[in-house]
Chain A
Amino acid sequence: MTSRPRYSLRSLRNADIWSFCVLAATFAADTAVLMKALEGTLSLSSAVLLHLAVLCAAALAISRVMPDDQTLPVLCFSFAVFSGPVGMVAGMILVAGAWFSGSGARLLERWSDWSNGGGAFDSSMLLAESIDNGRAVRTSRPARRLFPHIMACGSFTEKQWLLGIVAQKYHADYGPALDAALSDTEPGLRVQAAAVRARLNDRIKAEYNDILRTAGGTAAQVSAATALAARTVHCLKSNLLDPSEARRLREAVLRHCQRAAGLHEHSPRLEEQIRWLLWNGGHYEAALFWQRNGENSGSHN
């Protein structure tokens, strides 16, 4: 699998700054060559050769700081070949313009690449873009009140908004807010809470069935078993499963993970998940046994 190129704001901005510096240095060198030629210190042929040498060095330097995009080096090189230092100034203006507008061809190409799934931006790049476009969280705005407070005395619209959040980004801590909405005095809100509950149940049931199917398969690698156990822990922590479903899931995954742990090398992460599942299921002795077992293996290692 090939990994996607990852673009960071710093690397993109640094490339612009370095390009600008290279162009400035080239401008200085080329101006010096021209001055020497005009003073008569350099012959015309030497001046032309030096001019070309400076340009080649500049092109090489720019292509090093912008390895994946040769548009600007070629453009500046063309300017400079025919216009000398004036061409360099034109190149510097181009780079500065792209830097300030945030819409240089290179940056746009990165975005195009990103939107087609060909590259990835790191969080700094995405945050900068959000701030530039006014999409970022406005920390200056007053925060809404806490969820329990909204459920207790918020407006109908606020409560509906909150239930929307619960449906989209459910966390076990939102459970009490959902329960409160189910017994709200406003029928419209109870209906929404019921719809949210049904949606969450569907989602958790799909996850539950998938985990059970996987756990019923052949013994997995440690990494796969750890991932499955992590999904199970997440599922159980949601508090959306019936006690009987929770028990069944926990036991199936425990069998699967214990098998994987027995077949493979010592894995602290998997053992930690097993301990959690055992403890959560009320098998305290077994959980402590795994804890001691893990400590012993750790000390031997």
Chain B
Amino acid sequence: MLTQTDTHFATDARGTEADVCLIVEGCYPFVSGGVSTWLDWLMRTQPSLTFHVVAIVSDEAPRVSRYAPPSNLISLQRLVLHPPVAKRSRGTAASVAESAELANAMLALLKPSGGFDALSHLIRVIRTDGCTPTLTDLKASETSWDAIVKMYQALMPQASFLHFYWAWQALFGGLFSVLLFPLPRARIYHTISTGYAGLLAARAAAETGRPAILTEHGIYTNERRIEILMAEWIADTVQKGIAADERIDLRDLWTKAFESFARACYEACTDITTLYRDNQRLQLALGAEREKLSVIANGIDPARFGRLPVASHDTPPTLALIGRVVPIKDVKSFISAAALLRRQIPDLCALVLGPLDEDPAYADECSELIRELALEDCVRLLGTVNIVDYMPRIHVVVLSSLSEAQPLALLEAGAAGIPCIATDVGACREIIEGSAEEQPRLGPGGYVTGLVAPSEIAAAAKRLLESEDLRRTMGETLRQRVRRYYDSGQASSNYHLLYERRGARTSGARELEGSQQ
């Protein structure tokens, strides 16, 4: 049994071979919600398979596990990207390659042509003569210093060396940690993002020849790129102005590094799955091969919501936003839409169902907006509630988010037969209008609006609230779509089939193998 604090995890990873090694970055089991919950669900719904989990974290700070380990989890290992480097390595360690060779291998990885082959070459260069260097050898030796200088001169000689040095330590220090990590034994390596997790999966594929699988919820490289382009902690050391300028500065270096990590991962993986089709455009743009791509949508248990009664027409017209009260959910647009709608529907009731404590300042701003718009008797922020208790009185569910992947709130509302209005983000359009592959076409289960568009939300909500027929038709359509495409049982069996196809043994096969021996 694994402990729930992270200091002494079971570390049987080297000895026992698991069916699947899940590689995750910055989530399970130390952060709850989203991808972590999905990982917990994935392991629990595959009881015939065994799992190792490698959790990638940035530093050695103690962390507490937020999840009780499932019985089929054999080990949980932490991969620390930036552990303290022991002591400066004097001279060139015998195991470390020549600085020029190391620099050239790393430069090759960064090139647009660099990918899985470049990563495999880098692994060979680092392991010259079959010896494994230490992180200190790779990060703080004279060889690494020479390699840094060579890379600086090759990549961005006009930029600040000091900034380059620290960026190199951060980016490639993480890369070296991944390349030196003791790889758990598994039949399949399944990474939940590109980035450093994807690199470890690619390395596993290169070293073991076992299949690697990638499941992307959001597109990691795009998220990193957004973060890098907006980051205030990255200095602009080259004045590019608004000219089309090929000189490489720090932002370019960071972006190039993550793009190269993604390329290596996409090339190494035999299967690349995501939650919804729209994500595939970015995956293709980043170098994924079309034939490897597939969609496995997340699901819910429709039975949990299917028996709930639909809100009747003689109850006050009720809109609900189900979600955390945080800026990314753009709750203010929902409040503004309610203000517009109340002019036409005076007895409107607008509920916000979700925790208020994640961003208290934003929650206060929302309360203030409600007061300013004199909506105290109409819009209510109810905090965390049991959604099932409220669904029978909700006529329309609204999602005004600025960003989503595949929101469970829409699936749950759909399973309860409630029509939805959502912004055009993530999988919302696919859920509400159906994917291009939907056969037969079921029709719309609500409306899709633009982002930050209270008037569009108000107009769509008015149509639904004023027509019971429309509401029933769309609600029923959405219920059918959720049952057909978003059943968690189906998602689970899709992953099981994928694992089987790639060589995982079920417990039955293991027992048979054991009895034959």
**B229 pairs with A201, CB closer than 8 A:** no
Which chain B residues numbered 235 to 260 have a C-beta less than 8 Å away from chain A?
237-245, 247, 251
Interface residues of B in 286-326 (CB under 8 A from A): none
Interface check A297, CB cutoff 8 A: no
CB-CB under 8 A from A160, the residues of chain B are: 225-226, 229
Q: Please classify the interface of chain A as helix (H, G, I), strand (E, B), loop, or mixed, using the class held by over half of its residues.
A: helix
In the bound complex, residues from chain A placing their C-beta under 8 Å from that of B442 are none
Tell me how far the C-beta of A158 lies from the nearest C-beta in chain B, rounded to whole angstroms.
9
Please indicate the chain A residues that have their CB under 8 angstroms from the CB of B387 in the complex.
none
Tell me how many residue pairs across A and B have CB atoms closer than 8 Å. Answer: 99
Q: Kindly supply a per-residue 1/0 record for chain A positions 115-159, scoring 1 wherever the CB is within 8 Å of any chain B CB and 0 otherwise.
A: 000000000000000100111111101111000000000001000
- Tell me whether B243 and A191 are in contact (CB under 8 A): no
Q: Which of B225, B230, B241, B244 interacts with A168 by CB under 8 Å?
A: B230
Contact partner of B451 (CB less than 8 A), chosen from A135, A142, A190, is: A190
B239: contacting residue among A137, A183, A196, CB under 8 A: A137
Residues of A within 8 Å of B425, CB to CB, are 187, 190-191, 194
Q: List, in ascending order, chain B residues with CB within 8 A of A201's CB.
A: 327
Q: Are the CB atoms of A198 and B229 closer together than 8 Å?
A: no
Q: How far is the CB of B195 from chain A (nearest CB, A)?
A: 16
Q: Does B278 contact A (CB under 8 A)?
A: yes
| Cβ contacts under 8 Å, A136 to chain B | 239
Q: Across the interface, which residues of B come within 8 angstroms of A137, CB to CB?
A: 239-241, 243
For A135, give its contact among B158, B219, B242, B243 (CB under 8 Å): B158
- Nearest CB of A to B260, in Å: 16
B450 within 8 A of A: yes
Contacts A156-B285, A191-B425, A198-B402; is A167 near B238 (CB within 8 Å)? no
How many residues from B make CB contacts under 8 Å with A?
Answer: 41
- Collect the chain B residues with CB atoms within 8 Å of residue A143's CB: 241-244
A6 at the interface (CB under 8 A from B): no
The reply to whether B245 and A141 form a contact with Cβ atoms under 8 Å apart is yes
Contacts of A161 in B (CB 8 A): 229
Known: A135-B159, A191-B402. 14 other contacts (CB 8 A): A136-B239, A139-B243, A143-B243, A163-B230, A167-B229, A167-B230, A182-B450, A183-B450, A190-B425, A190-B451, A194-B402, A197-B452, A202-B327, A242-B332
Interface residues of B (CB under 8 A from A): 157-159, 219, 222, 225-226, 229-230, 232, 237-245, 247, 251, 278, 281-282, 285, 327-328, 330, 332, 361, 365, 369, 372, 402-403, 424-426, 450-452
For the complex of A and B, list the 3 residue pairs with the smallest distance between their C-beta atoms, beginning with the closest.
Answer: A164-B229, A194-B402, A134-B158
18 residue pairs of the A-B complex, CB under 8 angstroms, read: A134-B158, A136-B239, A143-B244, A144-B242, A144-B244, A163-B229, A163-B230, A164-B229, A168-B230, A187-B425, A188-B282, A190-B424, A191-B222, A191-B425, A192-B222, A194-B452, A205-B365, A244-B369
